[in-house]
Chains A and B, each alone.
Chain A
Amino acid sequence: MIAYALQRFGAAILVAWLAVSLAFGVLRWLPGDALDATMARAGASDAEIAARRLALGLDDPVWQQYALYLADVLRGDLGESLVSGQPVSEMIAQNLGPTAALAGGALLVAVALGVGLGVLSGVGRPAGVRYAAEGIASLALSTPVYWTGTLAIYLFTTVLDVLPGVGGRGVRYLILPVCVLGFHTAGSIARVTAGSIRAAAAMDFIRTARAKGLPESDVLDHILRVGLLPVTAVVALQLGFLLGGTVITEMIFARRGLGKVLLAAIDTRDYPVIQGLVALSAVTYSLINALADVLYGLIDPRVRMDR
């Protein structure tokens, strides 16, 4: 097991290193002249631009810049914003809280709703319950956040007037965005759960359990124990969707957070900020997926045996 965990995390670190290198290649090396354009727009003189280039090492050979960049990243230094001059890591630290709260809350809603809908559409009774659960999951998969977000704000703040809408910082302001983002993430979780539950229900040992006269509630318990195992892996995979979704959700609900920082950076072509955020999300995503795989291996030994 320890060997498997080490191997899985080793692979994740390799992937994270490659992802960070890709971010360097695409977002620093390719748009090397972005600094000139950004500073020129801000009204800097040629001499100032040249001094800044020198300070940032933009005229050094690429491999030297790359080595320096990797060393900086390892120390947690992601460079500075071209626009404000603020360290990127500081910008991330200041805005991480609201985004983490949004993503974490949405993940909880997504798991609860997704697994619930998945179980219902897998083994729900009567058939009407199955169809209803399937329908809700299909709806979650086929409507975008930027459409349901608008609908939810209208329904819950204008028509029903039970929740505050956009802006704000309190917990009450978190409920609606968390539910909207969670609802969409629940779609794929429900789909995978339903498939896995159906596959488990069709297994021989379930037929045996029924044949020997176990009550249906015990049979269901057997089904769920096997059918819910793969869900851990799917939940971790959905994190990517969730991180992308926070950007749009924050925009619709006018919330502070990393998504807002990213969109502002894209508008001003602030490459170090974009690069820092994208690299951070890639590293987070691959490490959490490795963690999920190892956990999955712990609760289901068959996964480890496959290797």
Chain B
Amino acid sequence: MIAARTTNHRRRVAAGLLGLIVLLSILAPLLTGTDPRDATTGAELVSPSWQHLFGTDLLGRDVYSRTLYGGRRTLGVALLTVGVTLLPGLITGLAAGYFGGWIDRALMILMDALLAFPALLLALALVALLGSGAIQIALAVGIAGIPAYARVTRAAVLEARTRMFIEAARAAGAGPAGILWRHVLPTIAPPLLAFAGVMLSWAILNSAALMFLGYGGDLSAPDWGVMLADGRAAFRTAPWVATAPGAALSLTVLAINLLAGSLDSRPGRE
């Protein structure tokens, strides 16, 4: 009882925090009149004040505005990354888990081979191939995430396949596509959703890592990863430049992790 109440409370706090961060990012143009790319000469590394809530960076750009707009780009790239992971991962996992046999074995050995590459190294190698840019980063990190998602999907399908109503649907003559879509997918949705949350926080951290390393293409675009790289050099004299995006990044990932954790431990689920 008490545990359930704590989980509920945590979920509400996490959802509120995440909602707030998303809202702040979406409403960025309403919340600041300063262009995040506007470099003001003579106003470099100004400490926080009423005019610049979070101060300014090395080029005199407003950190408050860059953090708000940075949320759009960082979260946007992360969502795109998860999109790249989800569809092929889901299809591979469903096919492997449902059909079994040699299809399963062939798909899983391919996934194992991909899984053998440390994810960030695979993403880096793909960036070398695809070139710099936000879309390229989403593709590279997204592809690196596919094998993990396929494996989790497959495990969930294998468990669902043993349920009586799926046996019954097959006995009643339903085709594989119908069974997968109407019966298997709704059954495995909760754990897959929880894992999609895990993938989202993973995507944020890794795509921001590639941004931090300078593979984002447009270097003046506001982005939490890029801002952390900008702020690193000046941290001793102007800690505010890195602190704002760093705190935003950590809070976002923390909120997503809490939400994903509470999704997985919903009452009635083992």
Interface residues of A (CB under 8 A from B): 11, 14-16, 18-19, 21-23, 26-27, 30-31, 138-139, 141-147, 150-151, 153-154, 158, 239-245, 247-248, 251-252, 262-263, 265-266, 269, 271, 274-275, 277-278, 281-283, 285-286
Given known contacts A154-B239, A278-B121, is B254 in contact with A138 (CB within 8 Å)? yes
Stretch in contact with the other chain, from B18-26, B109-117, B173-181, B188-196: B109-117
> Contact string, B191-211, partner A, CB cutoff 8 A, digits 1/0?
000000000010001001100
B121 x A277 contact (CB < 8 A): yes
Range, interface on chain B: 35 or more
- Cβ-closest 3 pairs across A and B: A244-B120, A18-B113, A142-B253
A142 CB contact (under 8 Å) in B114, B129, B236, B250: B250
B interface residues, Cβ below 8 angstroms from A: 109-110, 112-114, 116-122, 124-129, 201, 205, 208-209, 212-213, 215, 225, 228-229, 231-232, 235-236, 239, 242, 246, 249-251, 253-254, 257-258
B253 touches A150 (CB 8 A): no
Assess the B257–A262 pair: CB atoms within 8 A: no
B129 with A285: CB separation less than 8 A: no
Q: Contact between B205 and A15 (Cβ–Cβ < 8 Å)?
A: no
18 inter-chain pairs at a CB distance below 8 angstroms, sorted by A residue, are A19-B117, A26-B125, A27-B125, A31-B129, A138-B254, A139-B250, A143-B249, A144-B212, A144-B228, A145-B209, A146-B225, A147-B242, A154-B235, A242-B118, A244-B118, A251-B213, A252-B232, A266-B127
Known: A15-B109, A147-B249, A269-B128. A285 touches B236 (CB 8 A): no
| Contact, CB under 8 Å: B125 / A146 | no
Give chain A residues whose Cβ lies under 8 Å from the Cβ of B246.
143, 147, 150-151
Instruction: Give Cα A83–Cα B233 distance, bound, in whole angstroms.
Output: 29
A271 to B126 alpha-carbon distance, docked (Å): 11
The residue from B116, B128, B239 contacting A271, defined by CB atoms under 8 A apart = B128
5 new A-B contacts at CB < 8 Å, known A138-B254, A146-B208, A266-B124:
A138-B258, A141-B257, A239-B118, A275-B125, A278-B125
The answer to whether B118 and A19 have CB atoms under 8 Å apart is no
Question: Within the complex, which residue of B209, B251, B253 is in contact with A248, where a contact is CB–CB below 8 Å?
Answer: B209
Nearest residue, chain B, Cβ from A144: B205
Q: Could you tell me if B119 and A240 are in contact, using CB atoms closer than 8 angstroms?
A: yes
Partner of A150, one of B208, B232, B257: B232
In terms of DSSP, what is the predominant structure of the interface of chain B?
helix
Residues of A within 8 A of B257 (CB): 138, 141-142
CB contacts (< 8 Å) of A18 on chain B: these are 109-110, 112-113, 116
Q: Is A285 within 8 A of B116, CB to CB? A: yes
Contact B213 A248 (CB under 8 A): yes
A247–B212 touching, CB < 8 Å: no
Q: Is the CB of B242 within 8 A of A150?
A: yes
Q: Which residues of A lie under 8 Å from residue B125 when comparing CB positions?
A: 23, 26-27, 266, 274-275, 278
Given contacts A27-B129, A144-B208, A154-B236, whether A243 and B250 have CB atoms under 8 Å apart is: no
Q: Is the CB of A150 within 8 A of B235?
A: yes
Indicate the member of B120, B215, B229 with the most A CB atoms within 10 Å.
Answer: B120
List chain A residues, Cβ under 8 A from B109.
14-15, 18
Contact across chains for A144 and B112 when beta carbons are under 8 A apart: no
From B122, B127, B201, B228, give the contact of A146 (CB < 8 A). B228
In-complex Cβ contact of B209 among A144, A154, A262 (8 A): A144
How far in angstroms is the closest Cβ of chain A from B140?
11
Bound complex: CA A239 to CA B129 (Å): 25
CA distance A141 to B110 in the complex (A): 28
Please indicate the chain B residues that have their CB under 8 angstroms from the CB of A244 in the complex.
Answer: 118-121
What chain B residues lie within 8 Å of A282 (beta carbons)? 113, 116-118
User: Contact between A142 and B128 (Cβ–Cβ < 8 Å)?
Assistant: no
Min C-beta distance of A152 to chain B, whole Å: 11
Contacting residues, chain A, for B225 (C-beta < 8 A): 146
Asked if A240 meets B118 with Cβ closer than 8 Å, knowing A150-B242, A274-B125, the reply is yes
